Amino acid sequence: MAQSVYLPELVIRGSETTSPPRHSAVVRITHWITTLSFVALLVSGIMILIAHPRLYWGETGGVGAPSLIDLPIPFKIGYSGWGRYVHFLSAWLVVLTGLVYLLEGFSTGHFKRELVPSGERLGWSSFWRSVVDHLRLKPPAEEEFHTYNLLQRLSYLSVVFVLFPLVILTGLGMSPAIASVVPALVNGMGGQQSARTLHFFVSSLLVLFFLVHILMVIVAGFTSRMRAMITGRTSHE
């Protein structure tokens, strides 16, 4: 029995038959803004962490106080003012860009169509097969140039609706201004230093996703994937 292959709906323009873009303009623009902002957050976050590479749990923590985790990073005590400034601006840029992406995703059905698992071809057998393929660095199947497998969908949903909201909330939890206005947010995390520790671990998961994402783009076909995210089209079209 032949395996069915998902293909996007065709659009006929005069005598030319084409398929709609793999990614909409809003998805492509927000993707690249988020990517650049994330890199800025990563670099500035590392500089902030180098200034005090220790993690605490509770409301307070500092030099001489017992720490929860001592990170294997050279301890260079300093203010890292430029790092905090860049981190703050990049974080708000990610928030605003994310809101645009969410509005577009819900209004156009992007999330339901592209990310919410549905159908037999997105069953758990497909999920474990895609996990094995990722571990073996195997290029995706032909139909995955037009859609996502179950592993990809669950990963993207986790990043968009779990990790990014958590990293934003924990970031706000470190702010003294937010702590004074919304103390319940900080108290719910166990204190400002607890929020910083949680922020570190959630950020680490996002960095891991970022690195794996880049690796799989290279394995899947760097040129075609980049073309799809820049122009909306793939070489298959």
Check pLDDT > 60 for residue 8: no
pLDDT for position 113: 86
Confidence label for 16 from pLDDT (cuts 50, 70 and 90): very low
DSSP run (H or E) holding 166? helix 164-173
Q: Tokens 């995210």 label which residue?
A: 229
pLDDT for position 4: 38
Greater model confidence, 225 or 2: 225
pLDDT for position 154: 87
For 136, which DSSP code? Answer: T
Closest C-alpha among 110, 67, 107 to residue 200: 67
pLDDT digits (tens, 9 = 90+) for 166-214: 999 999 999 888 888 899 999 999 999 999 999 999 999 999 999 999 9
How many whole angstroms separate alpha carbon 208 and alpha carbon 72?
A: 18
Share of the chain above pLDDT 90, in %: 42
Check pLDDT > 60 for residue 141: yes
pLDDT for position 33: 97
pLDDT digits (tens, 9 = 90+) for 64-95: 778 899 998 877 766 667 888 999 999 999 99
Topology (CATH level 3) of domain 11-230:
Fumarate Reductase Cytochrome B subunit (1.20.950)
Name residues whose C-beta falls within 8 Å of residue 159's C-beta, 6 or more positions apart in sequence: 206, 209
Greater model confidence, 227 or 121: 227
Q: Tokens 């995703």 label which residue?
A: 105
> Could you tell me which residues are beta bridge partners of residue 13?
16
The count of C-alpha atoms lying within 13 angstroms of the C-alpha of 90, restricted to the half-sphere facing its C-beta, is: 19
pLDDT for position 77: 64
Closest C-alpha among 170, 159, 179, 178 to residue 200: 170
How many whole angstroms separate alpha carbon 181 and alpha carbon 186?
A: 10
pLDDT for position 28: 93
- Of 1-10, 179-188, 212-221, minimum mean pLDDT range: 1-10
pLDDT digits (tens, 9 = 90+) for 107-126: 999 898 888 887 655 566 76
How many whole angstroms separate alpha carbon 220 and alpha carbon 140?
A: 6
Confidence label for 226 from pLDDT (cuts 50, 70 and 90): confident
- Structural domain spans, the chain: 11-230
DSSP calls for 97-127: HHHHHHHHHHHHTHIIIIIS--SGGGSHHHH
In whole numbers, what is the pLDDT of the chain averaged over residues? 82
